[in-house]
Amino acid sequence: MNTIAEHIADFLKEYAPFNHLTFEELSEIATSIRVVNLEKHKILFQVNDVLHDSFYVVASGIISLSVIADSEETLLNKCTEGEIFGIRPFFAKNNYMMTAKAREESIVYAIPIAIFRPFVANNSDVLNYLLESFAVNTRNPKDKENLIGKLISDNVYYSGEKSEMQYFQSLSYNTSPLKTNSSAIVQDVAQIMTESLKNNIVVCDNNNPIGIITDTDMRSKIATGRYPITTTVDKIMSAPVITVMENVSLAEAQLLMLKYNVTHLCVTKDGTDKSNVKGIISENDLIIAQASNPGVLIKEIKRCQAPKELKQIRDRLTDLIQTSITKNIPVSHIFNIASEINLAIIKRSVELSILDLGSPPARFAWLSIGSQGRKEQLLLTDQDSILIFEDVSADKYREVKDYFLKLGKKTTTTLEEIGYALCPNGHMGSNTQWCKSLTDWIKQYDSWMNTPGENSNEISSIFFDYEIAFGEQKIEDTISDVVYKNAKNNILFFDFLGNDALRKNSPLSFFKNFNVEDEGPNKNKFDIKTRAILPLVDGARLFALNFEVRGINNTYQRFKQFAINDPRHAEIYLNCGEAFLTLSKFRTLEGLKNDSSGQFINLDELSKLDRDKLKSALAPMRELEELIKSKFKLTQFS
């Protein structure tokens, strides 16, 4: 074996998915690998290029992957040493959907797909790695949180939000498929298929699948006269069958059908053809499954007539979140899906109140605030809202406000019945203090922002995270105008908000141990909400107001935006965004496990790996704290 191939095999064995192969296998592959030298800014492939016959591994340098969206180039990912990219030709037939370009002088290894494919077919770890990489287009499926919002362009299935669901969904399929053995006569089998109204039959040996016959096989092989009708089924069956586990998701099933160019998958006990047949998944099952995407759930929400119907859909959302987390769906995706469904539920709750009370006497906006306003509510935590109605003449004010207080009361009661607890601090549209006219709200925001220390017991920073759930967009826009006008050069306000953001207790002690609760019902547990998540949320809000980032409320998305606004500190922001997703996942898992708000983590129940992961997610907070102190020249903490 030549020394170059040996050197390449040595390099590859350190990185996934090649670490799942033996050195002999890698050496065999390495002899066919091409070494490609790329100068800085050199493009390897771009959007709409015909697919190459190879995929790539970065040997040295950095390759950026980008797409053009809304006529702007958006960086999706940076691939560094050992990372794979350009795996589209494995799974798709259409052209590239992104551009790969060298950010600096780079060397990449081109691995011919024809050579590599057999190793994928025989090694489920390698296949899973590639499927996941392709499906979520991250640098590394083990690090799925690297996903970039909705720009998942190296995937044929993603077309915006509606299909994000495909990673969450389990499939319904035929669990009692027709079976036959290899010596059966085609004529008899055709008779069985016709009588059962089924278009496929699995050929088994001892109940293990060895082939499948579909209508297509009958048409192309029997009807054309290639084989007589008296032939045995083993002559015309498609073999081998592609087998999957029982809990396969919609997206995984789609990827496999595409990859192997088949229309049916055979479900077996252990996912291999060496175990019993449990069912058959057809292309039609995939089409039906698509129907339960968020769009369909949202349509169902719009038809709901009572809180208990809405509660059933909210329970389905909880199941969906549970499944998604188990399947390692990127948390940023789960936020997108959950927030759309939560928002639709709130909107319908307001509509039901209006149907009951009659038309509102004035235009208004119902705003979700806090975690709902930030699109970060995965668990059934409490509800936070404000109600703003347009200005009316003084003689009408009392009557109009009475109507909206009733509307607020009805809506918050409905949401409580659905499972969203009432806010313990009373931050809800049903509270006379938080249900008032636009002018009164403008005065409220003016007072909070221009004399922040004077009524600080009343200012809650969650009022700066809001999302319209129902009503007039113009009302929300007016509030935003007031907020950003007041924020401009408002040293006092940023001093107050900055100090408030730094007031949370540190998550780790001086000796890098977790600071846990000293007493009370959660003694020795870690308060992940107050000590870890809130400082990131508060920091993101602070910078959003400072950079005038409008229309992005989600903490993760905010941090990503700051990296663009302030590239000098991009790394800190991106690390904080990743940390936020990791911490949110810990909290959600805790909440789902104990049917709680997930606020307190029992560290004893975490594996050492998870404890380390949690600890490393706390690291960027120190840098964020320093950045806040220097950026806002904070008096109290300087």
Does the pLDDT value for residue 140 go beyond 70?
Answer: no
Residue 137 confidence (pLDDT): 46
State the DSSP code for 145: G
Contacts of residue 372, Cβ cutoff 8 Å, sequence gap at least 6: 339, 342, 343, 346, 383, 384, 385, 467, 469
Structure tokens at 511: 């000796």
Does the pLDDT value for residue 34 go beyond 90?
Answer: yes
% of the chain exceeding 70 in pLDDT:
88
d(CA 181, CA 189): 10
Residue 509 confidence (pLDDT): 77
% of the chain exceeding 90 in pLDDT:
57
pLDDT in tens, 508-524: 877 778 899 999 999 99
Segment 261-279 mean pLDDT: 90
DSSP one-letter string for 244-283: E-TT-BHHHHHHHHHHHT-SEEEEESSSSTTS-EEEEEEH
Contacts of residue 261, Cβ cutoff 8 Å, sequence gap at least 6: none
- Kind of pairing between the strands at 277-282 and 264-268: antiparallel
Query: Which pLDDT band holds residue 135 (cuts at 50, 70, 90)?
Result: low
Peptide bond into 89 cis (omega under 30): no
Query: Which pLDDT band holds residue 253 (cuts at 50, 70, 90)?
Result: confident
pLDDT averaged over every residue in the chain: 85
Does the pLDDT value for residue 146 go beyond 70?
Answer: no
Cβ atoms within 10 Å of 534's Cβ, excluding its own: 16
Element (H, E) at 55: strand 54-60
Highest mean pLDDT (candidates 165-174, 267-276, 490-499, 571-580): 571-580
Query: For residues 108 and 38, is the Cβ–Cβ distance under 8 A?
Result: yes
d(CA 43, CA 64): 10
pTM score > 0.75 for this model?
no
pLDDT in tens, 312-323: 889 888 877 887
| Exposure string over 589-601, b if 16+ CB within 10 A, otherwise e | bbbbeeeeebbbb
Structure tokens at 439: 């002018």
Residue 163 confidence (pLDDT): 40
Does the pLDDT value for residue 139 go beyond 80?
Answer: no
Query: Which pLDDT band holds residue 635 (cuts at 50, 70, 90)?
Result: low
Highest mean pLDDT (candidates 81-90, 201-210, 507-516): 201-210
Helices 307-326 and 570-594 sit at what angle, rounded to 10 degrees?
120
Query: Which pLDDT band holds residue 289 (cuts at 50, 70, 90)?
Result: low
